[in-house]
Amino acid sequence: MNSIEILDKDSITAVKLLPAAIEITSQERRMIKDAAVHLHRKYGSYENRDFIRHVHQLASYFLPERILNIAADFASDFSKDQYGALIFKGLMDIDQEEIGITPSNWQSADSSKFNLYGFACALVHGALPSKPVQYYSQRKGGGLIHAIIPDEKMRETQTGSGSATDLYVHTEDAFLKHQADFLSFMYIRNEEQVPSTLYSIRSHESIGENFKPLFERIYKIPKDANLETDTNEEETLDSVLYGNFRLPFMRFDAAEQLFNPDIQQSEEAHHCLSEFWEEARHLIYSNFTPQAGDVILVNNHLCAHGRSAFRAGVRNIDGVEHQCQRRIMLRMMSKVSLIDMRAHTLTDDPFFVIEEHLGKNFQQLQNV
């Protein structure tokens, strides 16, 4: 599989639009922590549906006004100047000692250690406003927050548990009609100093004009490496760009749509995707290295994300390799409307999404 080309300095300067970075003040950080502690006492867990149902009101009540305003502007700004990703620097202080040694994989992580951070992330989504949800297609649901931890057994895979290969830029769950609207990535630790990778559809000039065929429903959008694909699903086609013609949204997964050897796009689709990728790959931004407590908030219709290859548990300082704790990141996904995707959620839990592939649900959960 090809690797993402690492950008040189000249191509970085060609990327005009950048994600906005917001430095959280110590006073704001204190307010957020106090809110999380209070909500933890009241609701026990961020999974508590009473908390999630009230998350918008609670965000308005508890979050600093500046963050509320930034979040509200971000949620409905689809303009040419909106990158589609925000970086909140130092949103929370992370108690590294309390987190302890990084577990060997997400399955063995003690999620109670992430409880306060889960409340903080949920409030940020609540401020957009957008509702935290879980996807059966990801970890069979697995809760509203997923710990992303490098797993030795999965190191070569194109998944959050991988590490040894570049994770190609992708919009999350590109293979779903009701993919998350917003994502947050909270960094608990990133001692290896792995840069995050972001790519915005707004970084292209005249995308609608130059890439008209991407609006056509001629592309295979296979499920990602976490899931098995059956051959019928490969025949379902959709567009890469949608929404407004001049300032479109995108569903795009370079690894699955372009480089998955099992997926044969039609000649026309492959040609259009290749031309698009030829421009897109030069617009990838990977100059930000998140630190513990940082949060990247992403509009999943405007901005794709990925990561460079790294060696889990190894930090390079001035050419010397040191052992370190492996990286931990918390991902939360949210939807603006529970109503729009009601045909794809559990009967008794509208926060649990059961879409399997482009409008089709997981059969076994259809009538649950």
Binding site for Fe ion (CB under 5 A): 172
Closer Cβ to Fe ion, 172 or 356, answer by number = 172
Closer Cβ to Fe ion, 68 or 304, answer by number = 304
Least distance (Å) between residue 167 CB and Fe ion: 7
Residue tagged 């990133």 (tokens): 190
Closer Cβ to Fe ion, 28 or 172, answer by number = 172
Closer Cβ to Fe ion, 129 or 306, answer by number = 306
Q: Are 112 and 331 in contact (CB under 8 A)?
A: no
- Please report the sign of the dihedral spanned by the C-alpha atoms of residue 199, residue 205, residue 208, residue 209: negative
The residue of the chain with the least Cβ separation from Fe ion equals: 172
Q: How far is CA 171 from CA 71, 105, 221, in A?
A: 20, 23, 11
Least distance (Å) between residue 172 CB and Fe ion: 5
Least distance (Å) between residue 170 CB and Fe ion: 6
The amino acid at residue 65 is: E
Least distance (Å) between residue 128 CB and Fe ion: 19
Buried b / exposed e over 30-69, threshold 16 CB at 10 Å, is: ebbbebbeebbeebeebbeeebbeebbebbeebbbeebbe
Four-CA torsion 36, 327, 68, 48, nearest 10 degrees: -40
Closer Cβ to Fe ion, 102 or 171, answer by number = 171
Least distance (Å) between residue 238 CB and Fe ion: 18
Four-CA torsion 170, 171, 175, 176, nearest 10 degrees: 170
